[in-house]
Amino acid sequence: MKRERFKPPEPDDPLCCCGDIDQQREYCCCDCEELDDACERLVRGEQDKPDIFSRFVSCMADRLGLPCCAVGPLRLEISVLPPMVLIPGLLRVAAINCMLGVVVLTALPGLVLWYYYVTHRRKRRTLFFLSLALFSLAYMYYLFLTEIVPRGDVSNLQLVTVTTGMMLTLISLVRTKQGPGFVKSQSLAQGINSICTTNQSTNIPGDSAPCKGISQSNGENEGKKKLCPVCRQVRPPRAGHCRICGACVLRMDHHCVWINSCVGQANHRQFILTLLLFLVTSFYGISLVLRSVCPQQSLFTAMLYCPGVYNQYSTALCFTCVWYSVIITGGLLHLFILQIINVSYNVTEREAQIALRNKTGRRRFCGLVVETGMYSRGFLQNWIQFLTMNTDENGSPFTFTVMGP
């Protein structure tokens, strides 16, 4: 019988052996889940303690937030492996002839989208999409070094430019994954308690009035405090709870499966920068490959018509990888455009979806823009606010002020 992992206790649940149901898990003097595991191992006759290597890998995975599955003494995320096998195999099959290329390059995005909707519906956290993105980037770069560079059509400066672009993209991706900016429950509780104490000392009438107002330090619209039904903590305006990450995120935009993390206040700018660096590097690499494979055609013509490209398997493989890169680049370009538009209107993807569901927002420009009219201050002011917003997770990005009754 498979037991569920730790979840926040409900009001009717029995108390922990420590006695305080509201106590933070990390401050608990014992671990009831580990106690249950020890009892199960004792009943089954399994070894009491894991080996040192297994404990080390488990600890590092927990610290990095990587979901793993136990396989003997090792812990491995199964969803990392399929892209490493499927991408090289499918692309090499697609390079055999034109018809196979059309079938594979049409079915592959459909399979990825199908798996995305399956994991999104079940609210599962997976490393499949992050592994697919990283391995695709690494495999494209490997083919560029082994198939295009030996042809002599790429100069050293162009090679250095592509390598630099790829490295900057990876560095920006690592910085994006450092965290979206989670709501700190302890600081919020202290802030609200201070408001209640201040209002009670000033004899403000009403029992619930002292804790109704929360405003942001940058002067945005004030909003009432909201209690997260999952985290059981007060969250500021524009914050949202991510069911995949299991936490409330400051100024939550969306949960991005390609980086296996939420996009929020702390990493939103870095996320857009990562998209920009990838798009520039990808467009430049695609142009270099097309000029080497189809030197007599223009860039746009070579993508649709490149005579003799399937005469040699190496050129056919490069041409197939160009179309695979174009598909990925097109999808990320659409995401980049949506992000730029949302920032220009000072609206997050989460706010846009909520506005459409509640029928409080209106679509513009063929549905690319969802205008809510809540936080927008004009194009220039919206971008200034976005580029200067606080990204310190340890510091409080908002302040509490007393709101009149």
- Tell me the catalytic residues: 256
Secondary structure E strands in 65-220: 69-71, 74-76, 213-214
Is-contact 398 273, C-beta < 8 A?
Answer: no
- Residue corresponding to tokens 């002839």: 97
CB atoms within 10 A of CB 80: 18
| E strand or H helix that includes residue 32 | helix 32-44
d(CA 253, CA 238): 9
d(CA 248, CA 388): 22
Q: CA dist 324 to 101, 106, 312, Å? A: 10, 10, 19
Considering only CA atoms, which of 182, 169, 348 is closest in space to residue 270?
169
Quick one: DSSP state of residue 182?
A: B
Handedness of CA 325, 327, 331, 336 (dihedral sign): positive
Is-contact 348 178, C-beta < 8 A?
Answer: no
Is-contact 343 382, C-beta < 8 A?
Answer: yes
Report DSSP letters for 43-98, one per residue.
HHT--SS--HHHHHHHHHHHHHT---EEETTEEE-GGGHHHHHHHHHHHHHHTS-H
